[in-house]
Amino acid sequence: MEKDIMEEAKRLYKAGDRKGALPLFQTLKDQGNEEATIYWARCECVGIYAPIERKEMIIKGLLPVYEKQGKWAGDAAAEIGIIYQRMAMGLQNQVIKLKNHLERLKDQCDLPEVQELKKEYQELQKQLEERAADAETWYEKAVALGSQMGMCYLAQYLTTPKRLLDLENPRTKNKPFSSYDMFAKGLFFSGNSDAGKIEKLWKRLYELHDGFDSTAAGALVELCNCQDRWEEAIEWAKRGSELQSVESMTFLAGCYEGGHGMQKDLHQAVVLFIKAYQEKYQVAERAASKLSKYLDLNEAAQIADEIAYCYSQLGEKEEASHWWDIALKRLRESDEADGGNRQSNPLRALSHWAQREQ
């Protein structure tokens, strides 16, 4: 009976129906099933603005699994780390908003109410630093227990943690964390003191070949690319493309399109771009949150636009027009997925092959 419930819950989870899977995992969790507890936490999938009580409830549910130090202890630690990171993300947004408000009141800094706001800002900043430290600590615990999920989370976290705390960085200043993909790999800061550690984590995950090798290959492509290690980036892109890594396929396609590091081949670029688009669109269809769906559909649109441009270069106007229409459709869907709340207009991000041809 328990096995049947678990199989059905996992089927729903993999199909993207977390709402349907949640009560099944909850039932098994209440019976002491540790694996189900991990999935239960993932299905809860609280956003950064979810009430603190709900986040603490999930942590409370995961702690017994970690404390038993059994098979699922590492993954429990990883999921606890995610909750703390989301707490930090929510606090960071509050800090930025209050910081901007104080900037507008700088000529009234002596007023008692402004002084109170400054104290509130300092307290929020302190909480932000504490939650960010908690997240990293739990990720480290997960890695120490051999959790591959923990390795993945830690590598992704270390890639961009400084923008959680460094509010003066010109690349992220005054931009809420929620406007970025939490696991964006293209924001790797050159000079990141954790670069060596990040690379080792991704290589370890790739070498294990146990479900995270595609993600790891894509991350290594981005990492090598950002460090101007072009030949290594291309090699990782070739490996990742065989594993259906979107980052790898789009990077390699771009190399074929522009003749960077290899002979220019628009036909091969189109093949890879189409594979990347299909993979990314499937990910978008399974997205569990509005933010993820928005970002995935937006990225699918960018890839479709590249396909349109390649076809236009090949002189295949009908195919180019077809893919441009797809790009526009995906962009509209991404906007609808997030209720049109994004400040930037994603249409500006597209090349529009027709304009290039003019």
Kindly report, residue by residue over 321-357, the tens digit of the pLDDT: 999 999 999 988 888 876 655 544 455 456 655 555 4
Burial degree of 55 (CB within 10 A; 0-12, 13-18, 19+): buried
| pLDDT digit string, tens, across residues 191-202 | 456 778 889 999
Q: Are 240 and 218 in contact (CB under 8 A)?
A: yes
Q: What is the pLDDT of residue 137?
A: 95
Q: Is pLDDT of 269 > 50?
A: yes
* pLDDT bucket at 44, cuts 50 / 70 / 90: confident
**pTM for this one?**
0.77
Q: What is the pLDDT of residue 221?
A: 92
Give residues with Cβ within 8 angstroms of 44, minimum separation 6.
22, 54, 58
Q: Cα–Cα–Cα angle for 283, 349, 187, nearest 5°?
A: 65
Q: What is the pLDDT of residue 182?
A: 34
Collapsed DSSP state (helix, strand, coil) of residue 1: coil
Q: Are 21 and 5 in contact (CB under 8 A)?
A: no
* pLDDT bucket at 177, cuts 50 / 70 / 90: very low
358/353 Cα distance (integer angstroms) = 9
Q: What is the pLDDT of residue 193?
A: 62
Q: Is pLDDT of 293 > 60?
A: yes
Give residues with Cβ within 8 angstroms of 62, minimum separation 6.
37, 38, 41, 76, 79, 80
| Cα distances (angstroms) measured from residue 235 to each of 8, 87, 248, 330 | 39, 37, 10, 30
